[in-house]
Amino acid sequence: RDENKSVDTRLGEICELLRNNIDYYDWVGFYFKNGDKEELKLGPYAGTPTDHTIIPFGKGICGQVAVSNQNFVVPDVAAQDNYIACSITVKAEIVVPLFVNGENVGQIDIDSNTPDPFTEEDERFLEFINQNVAEIL
């Protein structure tokens, strides 16, 4: 591999690859814990730019996963109270935490314009992606 390629370049390529190859992945991005702050910061992503570049812990689906350390599958975003809308076209979302040495350092976030598209296969697949990402951080 090209050792000079930055981590952000590689993560951006992973986002593009996922978005371009899985038809119901419409927005794919990484959020990371922002230093010592109790908030997430948007990292590399593929899809429409979002205003939500900083998300406090506990807020929205992403902020809840920062606290719970658990996958969060949302079949219908309209049914969620604690949800931050990025685009009116989004119908469903999945967020899978990213662990480095057992510590929750961030997450991969996928938005879908298709209702209820995510299965346990997506969860296992995104866990596998994150395990590999953890190796290059």
Contact pick of 14, 106, 109, 133 for ligand SME (by CB under 6 A): 109
Q: Minimum Å distance from CB 98 to ligand SME?
A: 15
Q: Which residues, at least 6 apart from 30, have a Cβ–Cβ distance to it below 8 Å?
A: 11, 15, 42, 43, 44, 45, 98, 106, 107, 108, 109, 133
List of E strands, the chain: 27-33, 39-46, 54-56, 72-74, 92-100, 103-112
Among 5-13, 78-86, 113-121, 127-135, which window interacts with ligand SME (CB under 6 A)? 78-86
Under rule CB under 6 A, residue 122 binds ligand SME: no
Q: Minimum Å distance from CB 47 to ligand SME?
A: 8
Cα 32 from Cα 109, distance rounded (Å)? 11
Q: Compare residues 34 and 50 and give the one whose CB is closer to ligand SME.
A: 50
Contacts to ligand SME from residues 12-71, by CB under 6 A: 27, 29, 50, 52, 55, 60-63
Q: Which residues, at least 6 apart from 3, have a Cβ–Cβ distance to it below 8 Å?
A: none
Instruction: Please report, as ranges, the residues that interact with ligand SME according to CB under 6 A.
Output: 27, 29, 50, 52, 55, 60-63, 83-84, 86, 93, 109, 111
